[in-house]
Each structure stands twice: as structure tokens, then as C-alpha cells.
Amino acid sequence: MPTRDPLASLYTTAQVRAIDRAAIDRCGIPGFELMRRAADAAFACLRRRWPDARRIGVLAGSGNNGGDAFLLAELALRAGMDVDLVALTGDSSGDASRARASFVEAGGRARLAGNSVAPVGDVLVDGLFGTGLKRPLDGLAAELVGRSAGRPVLALDVPSGLDADTGTCTGACVRADATVSFVAWKRGLFTADAIDQCGARELATLDLPQAAYEGIAVDAELADACIGRALPPRRANVNKSRFGHVLALGGDHGYGGAIRLTGEAALRCGAGLVSIATRAAHVGAINAARPELMARGVDDAAALAPLLERASVLALGPGLGLGDWGRRLFDAALTSGRSVVVDADALTLLAEAPRAWSADAVLTPHPGEAARLLGSDVASVQRDRFAAVRELARRHAAVVVLKGAGSLVGAPDGRVVVCPWGNPGMASAGMGDVLTGVIAALLAQGCNAWDAARLGVALHARAGDEAAGDAPRGLVASDLFVPLRRLVNGAGA
């Protein structure tokens, strides 16, 4: 059994609660001690991130998230800070009740939320709700969250209002500058709305022994970008044929740039040879822009046959269109027996008629394409991205990349990897075309579908972050080529 990497393991809230129970029942650590350790870790995080804070505002809910908040407030009092604590309810339950009493014994005073204003302070501690959130926030809780807008916020465990299993928030939700999560990463902290709501994420494992985690399944893993294990350094005595031949198919009239981006990305990530099957009208422009690409105008399966014969991996779909021409290329490609990355319009064609695969297959839908493939709608896909990517991988018996904020990679056997990199600048034309080329290049160099997809997504997102810097707006897809080349050679791993 590979040793669990706590920093890369993602759990559902039910699994985290099971770890909590195991810590108490199996390891003999009282729940209140866990709460105290959580408060210690959160207070240390606050002092580190806001070293000049002298007054803190605290929002305390009725459950153990609130209990964490009461004990943090007590620590702040004992450190000589001013504390303005607003409690959502007049009493707390279980360990939280003991935490509340401890805060009061230390001289703390809990104001009742009622119609009072939000707590004052240089920084606001969000201890309203954590993994016990059961429904979208409303009423007083929603009002308090609304009043935290625009202030520096440290969220305890989970930003209040965020579903820690799916990363979505349908009602009011705290927007934190930092979130310190306890015991283990909740999978919902890394995808969907969480990317906007969590701020900087920190994990405090509360010094739990490994025994607390044993026997409790990990639901997903954070992507790693260590390319070295899958693509070892190149020997000198090699020929380009060792690094595969990618054939990119697409670029109907008006979309020649899409397939060119795919082809160039494959070259930049180390494919030995890259050919492009596209409309004849695009060949001149592609050859002029990137002569290393072997662009060929094709109109039918006959013209495509020799290209398919020479290729080892196909990148199918960017700018393919849904017309007769695109359908002919689609059908020829999917009966070629080659490993294939299926993207863009090819996914729409696939949704019309699912296929069995005779080699490795990676699908790369955005939420809209995923909805079409599932016969569902975007809202349902985004409501639970983990369920969607697992259902897609199972139903199509392929590795699936569900793109979007916090891209997910799913395998037919249920494995899921979550990409913690990427930025809003990547929501722009051509980024998906580049990703298709990246994944095809890794397949061409010998990676299996799972490694090619999870590493390709990580490389692509990290290249996007490097290219964007602190200016995501205006990032263009070809900006990724230079960082991609650095990262695919193991830089920064």
C-alpha cells in the first residue's frame, strides 16, 4: 500500500469525519484536544499572515467550526489582542459548548448576531460553518457573510457557505484571503467556486498519527507536476522517431489557427514529428508560421490514409467543425486504431455516437461538452464535477479531463486527480487546443493515457500560471509555448 501523502490526498467530508472519529476512538485523542490543536494552527496562520493585526473580529457558528473559532478567540485574548466575537446562536453543542465556556472564562464576551453589525477587527475569522454545512446559507448567516465582503478574512476549515465535497456555493459564501483546513484536505477546496472563495489554502494535520488515516480511502489526489518519472531525461544517442509522430486533425474553414496551436504544442512538448491534416487553404499559413509542422490539405479518408499510417498518436478535434468534412476525418481517425486525444468538435460528434476504443483514449471536454456527452446540462455537471468526471470516464471507458477552474482528470476505474494550478487568463481562445497538443505529445513519448492526461493538465496549467504572472487578462494560448518547454524538461518540478 503506497504511503499516503497528506499534502496530496483529498477526502470527502464523510471520510474526514471518519478520520476524526478514528483519531478520537483509535488514537485516544479527545475531540476537544483536536479543537484546541485546530485553534492553535489557525491562530498561528493568522499571526503569520496578518502580523500587525491587533484586533480580530470573529464569527462563531453553533457547531464545532464555531468551537474552533471560540478557542482561537481565547488565544487572541491571551495574546493581548482585542477580540470582537459575534455568535450566530445563544449556545453551542458538545465540544463547542466547552470551547465557548473556555472563551468566556478567559474574559471573552460573545455578542449575539441578531441584527448587530459584523464584528470589527483588522482581520475577520470565519468560524460559522465548516464540514457540517447542510444547505445554502440564508437568513442571519447569509447576512453576516454578506457583511464580511471586502474585509481580510481567515476561513476556518472551509469558507462558510462552500460545499466541501463539490467546491460549489449556491447561496452566500465567504470569500477568504486564506483558508486553514484541518486534519485533511477536503476535495471541494480545489475545484469549481472554491478557486475564488478559498484564497491561499493551508493544511493543518493537527499532528494526527498515521493510524488515524489507516483504512480510510482517499477520494482523489492533487496533480503532481513531476514529469521526470514519466518522461526520463533524454539520452544523446537518439533519433526523433523514438519520440512518436503526432497527427493533429482539424481546422475547418476559419479555424486553421486551432489545429496549428495543437500541432505546435505537441512539438514544444517533445513529440518527435508532428503532422497536421487540415483544409488545403490553411497549409501555406501553417508552413510559413511553423515550418517544423508537416501540414497537408486533406479532403477525404483516402487522402488521410497515408498520414494515419505514419502517425502513432492522433490529436482530433480542434476546429474540426460538424460538417461532412469534419465527420469524414472523425470517422477515419477513430477507425485507425491509433491512440487518440479527442477534443472540441470531435467530442460533440462522439456524443452523437459513442465509440469503443482499440488504443489509449483521452477526452478533454469543457463543462458544455461534458454535458453533451452525459446527455445532461452544464449546471448539473458543475454541481458535482467529481461525479461528472467519474461518470464520463466510466461511460466512455476513457481517461477524461473535465476542464474548468480546478480541472479534474478521471479514469474508468474511478481514480481522480485535481489540478491545483491555472488562472482565469486561461479561459481564452486556443488554450484547449494547446492542452490537446500537450497530452498528445506525452502519449507519443510513451506515457499511458492516465499519465499523459494528469501530467499534461499539470504542465499546461503551470505554464499558464508562469505565462500569466500577475496579469491573467490578455494571456494568449501561444504564450504558453516557452514555459511549456521549460516545464516538460522537468524545470520547477
Ligand X SMILES: NC(=O)C1=CN([C@@H]2O[C@H](COP(=O)(O)OP(=O)(O)OC[C@H]3O[C@@H](n4cnc5c(N)ncnc54)[C@H](O)[C@@H]3O)[C@@H](O)[C@H]2O)[C@H](O)CC1
Q: What are phi and psi of 213, to 5 degrees?
A: -95, -15
Identify which of 184, 181, 180 has the alpha carbon closest to the alpha carbon of residue 212.
Answer: 184
Here the cell at position 409 is: 482528470
Near K ion in 140-159, by CB under 5 A: 155-156
Residue 82, class by beta-carbon neighbours within 10 Å (0-12 exposed, 13-18 middle, 19+ buried)? middle
C-beta of 125 vs 293, nearer to K ion = 125
From residue 29 to residue 58, the character string flagging contacts with ligand X as x (rule: CB under 6 A) and all else as - is -----xx--x--------------------
| Inter-residue long-range contacts of 469-476, CB under 8 Å, 24+ positions, other chains counted | 471/425, 472/423, 472/424, 472/425, 472/426, 473/424, 473/425, 474/425, 475/423, 475/425, 475/426, 475/428, 476/428, 476/429, 476/430
Number of residues that bind K ion (CB under 5 A): 5
C-beta of 36 vs 175, nearer to ligand X = 36
Residue 371, number of CB atoms within 10 A of its CB: 19
Near K ion in 108-127, by CB under 5 A: 126
Longest dimension (CA), the chain: 84
Q: Select the binding partner of residue 432 from K ion, ligand X, none (C-beta < 5 to 8 A, by kind).
A: none
C-beta of 20 vs 345, nearer to ligand X = 20
Q: Select the binding partner of residue 160 from K ion, ligand X, none (C-beta < 5 to 8 A, by kind).
A: K ion
Provide the minimum distance between the beta carbon of 99 and ligand X in the complex, in angstroms, as a whole number: 8
Q: Is 132 within any annotated ligand binding site?
A: yes
Question: Binding to ligand X by residue 67, rule CB under 6 A?
Answer: yes
Provide the minimum distance between the beta carbon of 145 and ligand X in the complex, in angstroms, as a whole number: 10
Instruction: Write the DSSP symbol of residue 2.
Output: P
Question: Binding to ligand X by residue 68, rule CB under 6 A?
Answer: yes
Distance CA 125, CA 182 (A): 15
The only residue of 131, 148, 423, 445 in contact with ligand X, by rule CB under 6 A: 131
Question: Binding to ligand X by residue 412, rule CB under 6 A?
Answer: no
The only residue of 10, 156, 198, 267 in contact with ligand X, by rule CB under 6 A: 156
From residue 183 to residue 212, the character string flagging contacts with ligand X as x (rule: CB under 6 A) and all else as - is x-----------------------------
Across-strand partners of 409?
Answer: 401, 417
Strands 416-418 and 408-410, bridge-based pairing: antiparallel
Residue 273, number of CB atoms within 10 A of its CB: 20
Helices (H), 294-430: 301-310, 324-334, 345-352, 367-374, 378-383, 385-396
The answer to whether 126 and 155 are in contact (CB under 8 A) is yes
C-alpha 276 chain-centroid distance = 31
C-beta of 36 vs 390, nearer to ligand X = 36
C-alpha to C-alpha distances, 215 to 26, 114, 211, 411, nearest whole angstrom: 12, 44, 9, 22
Number of residues that bind ligand X (CB under 6 A): 27
Question: Binding to ligand X by residue 72, rule CB under 6 A?
Answer: no
Q: Select the binding partner of residue 131 from ligand X, K ion, none (C-beta < 5 to 8 A, by kind).
A: ligand X
Q: Is 98 within any annotated ligand binding site?
A: no
Residues contributing to the site for ligand X (CB under 6 A): 16, 20, 34-35, 38, 61-68, 129-135, 137, 141, 156-158, 182-183
Annotation: binding site for (6S)-NADPHX: 64-68, 130-136, 157, 258, 319, 366, 433
Annotation: binding site for K(+): 65, 126, 160
Residues contributing to the site for K ion (CB under 5 A): 126, 130, 155-156, 160
